Amino acid sequence: MRFLIAGAGAIGAYVGARMAHAGFDVTLFARGPHLRAMQERGVQVKSPEGDFVARPAITASLEDVGQVDVVFLGVKAHGLPQLAPHLKPVLGPDTTVVSTQNGIPWWYFQGFGGKWEGLRLERVDPGGVISSAIEARRVVGSIIYFATEIAEPGVIQHTEGNRITLGEPDGTRSDRIRVIAEALIASGFRCPVTTRIRHEIWVKVLGNASFNPVSALTRATLVQIARDPGTSSVIRSIMQEVEDVSSKLGMELPISIEQRIAGAEKVGEHKTSMLQDLEAGRPMELEALVGAVVELGERVGLPMTCTRTVYNCAKLLAESTAGQQK
């Protein structure tokens, strides 16, 4: 099988490096200094589980890749509207597309059924660009449970975690998802297959919509936010509002708010992806992680008072610091 990592940033390059190191046919699509560094020196991974260097195929042109069997979308959610229309050359009749984005994914309401069937969130899929380029039948959902960052071009720092949960949107255990899971397991990941991917997405959203924007506003780590009485109170309020939205959509969360906060605290002195982006002068995933939840709150008739307040503050921060480097 041929695998493509479309967007080899911190997460994508780490997944691709592990797969290449395990002997799989994988190509990484990247740009800029990170691309050149990986082409020259391979993907250097630094990890508590052991450092290694992998040398997958690296490209700056999707046209040169040709059709593949599986595409992992490694870009962040705000990069998908730009990437999706350019995927056509790599998509064969049966190519599977694995979404890895945080937040509410663009495909969430495709095949959802009921009154929300086909709902498109403008903050996630503006103008329907993504859903027009990637057919719903191709999609396999995933939830990433590990922490990585680009320490320098071509160098990926893996901090903790090794789980990637996969799930078919229709809840089936398909042959294609079994094959992808087996490849990831052989590459060193834990890869459970869930029949309730939409429910589990909300567990990740609980943390994404709360810890990420608060960390950007305070510059604090997960453990600092969780242990501070003031910020932990804000986190609980946001999480309750997120849980209320999910309940309106018929989702039952398999974890409590206190358990979710405790889990974040255990990660320790880790900067969220949003804080990492802010410090590096990169665009933050604000709309997919927080704006989409606010938009859904409006749809289901909930005020989202605390979430909206933090979102508005983080949005102004993003606008006022756009393009600034650390």
pLDDT tens column, 193-217 = 999 999 999 999 999 999 999 999 9
Element (H, E) at 26: strand 25-29
273: left (phi over 0), alpha (psi -120 to 50) or beta: alpha
**Are both 2-195 and 198-319 of the same fold?**
no
Q: Let me know if 115 is a catalytic residue.
A: no
Convert the pLDDT of each residue in 38-58 to its tens digit.
999 999 999 999 999 999 999
The one catalytic residue among 76, 115, 204, 326: 204
Hey, which CATH number is domain 2-195, 1.10.3720.10, 3.40.50.720, 3.40.50.300, 3.40.50.970? 3.40.50.720
Residue 159 banded pLDDT, cuts 50, 70, 90: confident
Lowest-confidence pick of 76-85, 124-133, 134-143, 272-281: 272-281
pLDDT recorded at residue 324: 62
- Considering the entire predicted model, what is its pTM? 0.93
Residue 149 banded pLDDT, cuts 50, 70, 90: confident
pLDDT recorded at residue 174: 97
Concatenated DSSP letters of 291-306: IHHHHHHHHHT---HH
pLDDT at 141 over 90: yes
Convert the pLDDT of each residue in 247-283 to its tens digit.
999 998 989 999 999 999 988 888 898 998 999 898 9
- Burial track 98-125 (b if 16+ CB lie within 10 A, e otherwise): bbbbbbbbbbbbbbbeeeeeeeebebbb
3-state helix, strand, coil in the chain (%, to 5): 50, 20, 30
Q: What is the mean pLDDT of residues 68-97?
A: 97
Distance CA 241, CA 308 (A): 10
Concatenated DSSP letters of 104-172: S-TTTTTT--GGGTT---TTTSGGGHHHHHS-GGGEEEEEEEEEEEEEETTEEEEEEEEEEEEE-TT--
CATH 3.40.50.1970 fits 198-319, yes or no: no
Convert the pLDDT of each residue in 15-41 to its tens digit.
999 999 999 999 999 999 999 999 999
pLDDT at 84 over 90: yes
| Extents of the domains making up the chain | 2-195, 198-319
pLDDT recorded at residue 271: 87
pLDDT recorded at residue 323: 60
